Amino acid sequence: MKIQDLLKKEVMIMDLKATSKEAAIDEMITKLVDTGVVTNFAIFKDGIMKREAQTSTGLGDGIAMPHSKNAAVKEATVLFAKSASGVDYEALDGQPTDLFFMIAAPDGANDTHLAALAELSKYLLKEGFADQLRQAKTPDDIIATFDSNSISQETVAPQTVQSTSKGSDYIVAVTACTTGIAHTYMAEEALKKKAAEMGVGIKVETNGASGVGNKLTSSDIARAKGVIIAADKAVEMDRFDGKPLVSRPVADGIKKSEDLINIILDNKAQTYHAKNQNDKQSGESDGKSGLGSAFYKHLMGGVSQMLPFVIGGGIMIAIAFLFDNILGVPKDQLSNLGSYHEIAALFKNIGGAAFAFMLPVLAGYIAYSIAEKPGLVAGFVAGSIASSGLAFGKVPFAEGGKATLALAGVPSGFLGALVGGFLAGGVILLLRKLLSGLPKSLEGIKSILLYPLLGVLITGFLMLLVNIPMAAINTALNTFLQGLSGSSAVLMGLLVGGMMAVDMGGPVNKAAYVFGTGTLAATVANGGSVVMAAVMAGGMVPPLAVFVATLLFKDKFNNEERQSGLTNIVMGLSFITEGAIPFGAADPARAIPSFIVGSALTGALVGLAGIKLMAPHGGIFVIALTSNPLLYILFILIGAVVSGVLFGLFRKIK
């Protein structure tokens, strides 16, 4: 899409009458309302004024670009207006403004305007272009001015410009504004243009409304001399740990691009130190991070977003069963347990609404982690299909009569959603490659049409195939877990309980926890999951073991460690395994094996007794949602005492 497609002659104002900023905004919005582009004056103005409250959109040099992405906008439009006398628009340079581009962007997924706005940025940065607009007399002259300065046929400067005058200087930058519409792309173009003039290599990442564009990789960051952040909102910073960095408002990226570049080149930028050292390598790794770590990263990207739905919904459903148990349910109505009494039914339905999002959110955000924003829709669809069990031969259709209308798919559950998330992300990455040859002017159409349509189409049909084996595997797994008893339950409990203590919040711990929550979905209606019970009990042991060790072996711990032991009581009871990490990290050879023994023992005892849990989190606060609260507490205490004594005995006196 070209900017001319958004510049509509019928909404242009060739002689703006207003002399103040708000009056000018009102006059332009009125024109948009009168022409049917904006449906509600007040709603759209509220969006415009909220943007102005961040920083003025008066860019200087007589140009202003007020903008809003707003529910009151029917279609993406750029209103052009010019004033003969100029308006006091509170511009960044303090001078009157006489050229206006009011950008009205529709709310939702329509990102076609972004490519055109990025193009507009290039026009406005061209020498003498603004003066040509000032000379124009009619709307036709405005369009002709854009046509005569068309850059569609020009060679676009590459993102990375080869240095010609300053050795091998290379800089990376990030641009972002609050709405991700105008300033983001203008700052990008200004920095690229100035770097080209100065002979400096540069790569600019845009954090725009359509997501992250031209994302910086870890290798880009590593070889850069420094980093420029031109942003009015938070951007991912930890990846720049140890690099010279200058951070300024996005307006400085537009108006002071040369100054920002020189700060890096003259070594005047301060070294940035990340607050979260663990995430400093969060830029793209160019595939060098290894398959295992990439899998874990994407999986956790989905799991972290899923857990609030599982925890909130799961506990609400569990409370429904608790109410019915307390109030009593006739034997002939046990099939309605959890929804027999009205109060229970209310809790169950609210919890069910939250719980129903579990699989779509898991798959959606796995795909998002892999392919960013375009992966979301395909991922959500994959998760929903996994939840419904739709598959070839299991899709009802009216033409086939009653026999086909009665068809019902078998949900593939957590495993199906997991596969679906990775599948959806992979499909979007493939589409990106296949569509990379499209002209830049069609960039917007990819986000609004091609990625959603083709992503859903391909992922959906693939899931109809994938669901067949995954549903069978999920059914077999659930049948096995439902029938856990005796030695099999003991072994399962021992395994997942021990895993919770291996790295206390790390990949092994998370793997066990994710497996436990996966079993909960299929078992909550039948009283809960033995696996989930073993997981939570095993995870509570290490912090409680720390307390036991510091209490019984005071001479082996200093005062600070003993105080920390007291805080671990609360963490342990709350199912926060990470409370034991400082002790495990300080003495891993003695602490971790001790913790594993106690956690594994507790998990095995829970499995042996067949104790079920209906909640995915909460520790002591959801103890009533276990099938045997007293015995459950006893097993946790046994594990904590065993681990605490072993840790204390093995610990050397300081």
DSSP 8-state assignment for residue 617: S
- Rounded to whole angstroms, what are the CA distances from 108 to 74, 380, 544, 636? 11, 17, 48, 49
Say whether both 299 and 427 belong to one domain.
yes
CA atoms within 13 A on the CB side of 376: 9
CB count within 10 Å of CB 281 equals 16
pLDDT tens-digit readout, 513-534: 878 877 776 676 677 888 889 9
Q: Helices (H) and strands (E) in the chain — how many of each?
A: 24, 11
Give which of 430, 434, 417 is closest to 379, Cα–Cα.
417
Q: What is the pLDDT of residue 285?
A: 44
Say whether both 3 and 123 belong to one domain.
yes
* Segments in 175-277 forming alpha helices (H): 182-198, 218-223, 250-255, 257-265
Give which of 224, 219, 256, 218 is closest to 239, Cα–Cα.
218
Q: Does residue 67 have an active-site annotation? A: yes
Is residue 653, in this structure, part of any structural domain at all?
no
Q: Does residue 177 have an active-site annotation? A: yes
Is 489 exposed, middle or buried (CB count within 10 Å of its CB: 0-12, 13-18, 19+)? buried
Say whether both 385 and 465 belong to one domain.
yes
Is residue 278, in this structure, part of any structural domain at all?
no
Q: What mean pLDDT do residues 117-122 have?
A: 71
Is residue 425 classed as helix, strand or coil in its secondary structure? helix
The span from the CA of 96 to the CA of 105, in Å, is 26
The span from the CA of 526 to the CA of 538, in Å, is 22
The string of DSSP codes covering 443-477 is HHHIIIIIHHHHHHHHHHHHHHHHHHHHHHHHHHH
Is residue 426, in this structure, part of any structural domain at all?
yes
Q: What is the pLDDT of residue 393?
A: 84
Is residue 591 classed as helix, strand or coil in its secondary structure? helix
- Rounded to whole angstroms, what are the CA distances from 524 to 319, 323, 345, 352, 435? 11, 14, 15, 11, 44
The residue to which tokens 């002659």 are assigned: 9
Q: Domain boundary at 85, 116, 147, which?
A: 147
Q: Report the CATH number that the domain containing residue 45 is assigned in CATH.
A: 3.40.930.10
Give which of 119, 126, 88 is closest to 103, Cα–Cα.
119
- pLDDT surpasses 50 at 635: yes
Q: Give the rounded percent of residues in the chain with a pLDDT score beyond 90.
A: 29
Whether 82 contacts 131, CB under 8 Å:
no
Is residue 283, in this structure, part of any structural domain at all?
no
The span from the CA of 594 to the CA of 590, in Å, is 6
Say whether both 206 and 235 belong to one domain.
yes
pLDDT tens-digit readout, 218-239: 888 988 999 999 987 777 888 8
Whether 226 contacts 174, CB under 8 Å:
no
Q: Report the CATH number that the domain containing residue 234 is assigned in CATH.
A: 3.40.50.2300
The span from the CA of 26 to the CA of 519, in Å, is 57
Q: What is the pLDDT of residue 439?
A: 74
Say whether both 174 and 41 belong to one domain.
no
Q: Choose the most confident range, by mean pLDDT, from 38-42, 282-286, 403-407.
A: 38-42
Is residue 370, in this structure, part of any structural domain at all?
yes
Whether 644 contacts 548, CB under 8 Å:
yes
- Cα–Cα–Cα angle for 508, 511, 513, nearest 5°? 110
Whether 211 contacts 373, CB under 8 Å:
yes
pLDDT tens-digit readout, 589-630: 888 999 999 999 999 999 999 999 887 777 887 788 888 999
- pLDDT surpasses 70 at 182: no
What is the domain range of residue 598? 484-648
- Cα–Cα–Cα angle for 148, 149, 152, nearest 5°? 105
Give which of 590, 629, 625, 594 is closest to 609, Cα–Cα.
629
Whether 71 contacts 43, CB under 8 Å:
yes
The span from the CA of 66 to the CA of 25, in Å, is 8
pLDDT tens-digit readout, 374-399: 899 999 999 999 988 888 888 888 88
Q: What mean pLDDT do residues 179-200 have?
A: 81
Say whether both 474 and 343 belong to one domain.
yes
Say whether both 572 and 523 belong to one domain.
yes
Q: What mean pLDDT do residues 155-168 have?
A: 43
The residue ranking higher by pLDDT, 28 or 489, is 28
CB count within 10 Å of CB 440 equals 11
- Rg of the chain over Cα atoms, rounded to whole angstroms, equals 30
Say whether both 385 and 243 belong to one domain.
no
The span from the CA of 68 to the CA of 198, in Å, is 34
The span from the CA of 477 to the CA of 483, in Å, is 10
Q: What is the pLDDT of residue 460?
A: 94
The span from the CA of 263 to the CA of 387, in Å, is 54
When divided into structural domains, the chain yields a total of: 4
- Cα–Cα–Cα angle for 314, 316, 322, nearest 5°? 105
End-to-end Cα spacing for the chain: 71
Say whether both 21 and 59 belong to one domain.
yes
- pLDDT surpasses 90 at 100: yes
pLDDT tens-digit readout, 16-58: 999 899 999 999 999 999 999 999 999 999 888 988 887 778 8
Residue 426, both tokens: 């992979």
What is the CA 565 to chain-centroid distance, rounded?
35
Lowest mean pLDDT of 12-26, 212-226, 569-583, 632-646, name the range: 569-583
Q: Give the rounded percent of residues in the chain with a pLDDT score beyond 70.
A: 87
Say whether both 53 and 141 belong to one domain.
yes
Say whether both 516 and 382 belong to one domain.
no
pLDDT band at 108; cut points 50, 70, 90: low
Give which of 626, 549, 552 is closest to 582, Cα–Cα.
549
Is residue 167 classed as helix, strand or coil in its secondary structure? coil
Q: Domain boundary at 479, 508, 539, which?
A: 479
Is residue 276, in this structure, part of any structural domain at all?
no
Give which of 321, 331, 358 is closest to 627, Cα–Cα.
321
Q: What is the pLDDT of residue 573?
A: 87
What is the CA 377 to chain-centroid distance, rounded?
13
Say whether both 105 and 55 belong to one domain.
yes
Residue 478, both tokens: 């659930």
pLDDT tens-digit readout, 307-320: 788 778 877 877 88
Q: Domain boundary at 440, 459, 479, which?
A: 479
Lowest mean pLDDT of 48-52, 79-83, 99-103, 291-295, name the range: 291-295
Is residue 102, in this structure, part of any structural domain at all?
yes
Is residue 279, in this structure, part of any structural domain at all?
no
